[in-house]
Amino acid sequence: MDSAMHIDLAFADEAFCATAAITPAENVSTNNISFLLNKDLLISAVRCNGSLVDIGEITEEQPICRPPVYRYTFKSRDAIRRLEIAYAGTVCFSPEAGTCWHNTLTKDFKSLSWYSAWYPQEVSIPISHDMVAVKEGKAYFVVKGDYDAKRDIWLYGGKGYDPFNIVAYRKESVRMASNGIMHIYYMDEGIEGQSQKCMERYGEIIGFYNGGLFPKREIPVLDIACASPAIIRGGGYQRAGLLWCTDLGKDDLWLTWQIAHETAHNWCSGAQADTWEDWLNETTAEWAVLLFALNRNDDVLFDFIMEPKLRKSASLPAIRTPDGTRPEGVHDQGTVMIYQLYQTLGVEAVRLFVQAFAGLKQKDTASLIEALDVGGHGEIARFIQEEIV
């Protein structure tokens, strides 16, 4: 059996408690295991091979796109066959300060994302099997979860999803709109009016992307989890078959932009997101939306996306950083750079750029330039090479 992590998760109104059990595979022999965990969480007990042990070595770290964390290292004289960590607290930062990391714990809505490091991350042994079990299941609806009535728990993970983005609504608060290819979950009555437009627009976007701009593939049913009014600021994120957002958009332009950008990440992803190479993920996703706008002759949508980026690009740093870190505004700078490509070589050059990235096995700038050059698109390759340096 491969190495596994199982998390039992229980909610209070404004906090949660969890027990993470890490079990190395039979062929993995180690007497120490380390991992990252949010600094604001309190470990109450650790058991190694069934016996209580002291909390191990602790160091502070600051990973990219996550809050401050501790790295815990547990050591044992014997090989570790099972390590259980019981911990509790809250990862609800301040939405007003822009540090919410898509997390909240209210009576009606629970949201815990990868970004908050609410669970053990970067475990020192590779984890092949994982599962989260949400207790007191009959009180909640867990997006992408499976309800086990016999045990009254929701099981989440093990199906190819990102297993640690937990979104749970209290059952009496959640509403749903569905058309077969997407389900929209929400609490805010104002979202009801947006849902029909969202479903219509999503159908158009999938029709343009899947088998058109990008190679045709099986797209899972999209579950959209709306956080409003529990969270009203904070943008959104997309995982396989899941889109987390505060709401569906301030108006039709926001709605179209948000759903089209996040849907594009089905193809526009894979570059290392905590480095300057993230410009590839976000620029190609943004230009997928802009190509959608151009295809439907929607100048209003095109300008809505481009004009703010053009206004602020002069004040942003270069895309490529000397130390490889991810600079501020890398998304906007990349989009503006490809706008210059669009003005210089036309829309077909942009289409080839987006498609070339989507088709890469090794997702980085050097591989993209090489693929464009080998594919007979040297002019595009040289443009990117000159602009990115």
As to burial, measured by CB atoms within 10 angstroms (0-12 exposed, 13-18 middle, 19+ buried), residue 169 is buried
| Cis status, amide bond into 68, omega within 30 of 0 | no
**Length of the chain, please?**
389
Q: Alpha-carbon distance 100 to 94, whole Å?
A: 5
Query: CA distances (Å), 170 to each of 13, 143, 200, in order?
Result: 11, 11, 28
As to burial, measured by CB atoms within 10 angstroms (0-12 exposed, 13-18 middle, 19+ buried), residue 389 is exposed
C-beta separation of 82 from 21 below 8 A: yes
Along the 389 residues of the chain, how does pLDDT read in single tens digits?
A: 689 999 999 998 789 999 999 999 999 999 999 999 999 899 999 999 999 999 989 999 988 778 889 999 999 999 999 999 999 998 866 555 555 667 888 999 999 988 889 999 999 999 988 999 999 999 999 999 999 999 999 999 987 677 789 999 999 999 999 998 899 999 999 898 889 999 999 999 999 999 999 999 998 889 999 999 988 877 788 887 889 999 998 789 999 999 999 999 999 999 998 899 999 999 999 999 999 999 999 999 999 999 999 999 889 899 999 999 888 888 899 999 999 999 999 999 999 999 999 999 999 999 999 999 999 999 999 999 999 86
DSSP 322-386: TT-BPPTTHHHHHHHHHHHHHHHH-HHHHHHHHHHHHT-SS-SHHHHHHHHHHTT-HHHHHHHHH
Question: Which among 256, 16, 6 has a CA at the least distance from the CA of 113?
Answer: 16
H-assigned helices in 151-277: 192-209, 252-264
Q: Alpha-carbon distance 98 to 101, whole Å?
A: 8
Domains (range + CATH), the chain: 4-93+111-158 (2.60.40), 175-264 (3.30.2010), 278-388 (no CATH)
pTM for this entry: 0.85
Q: Alpha-carbon distance 316 to 24, whole Å?
A: 45
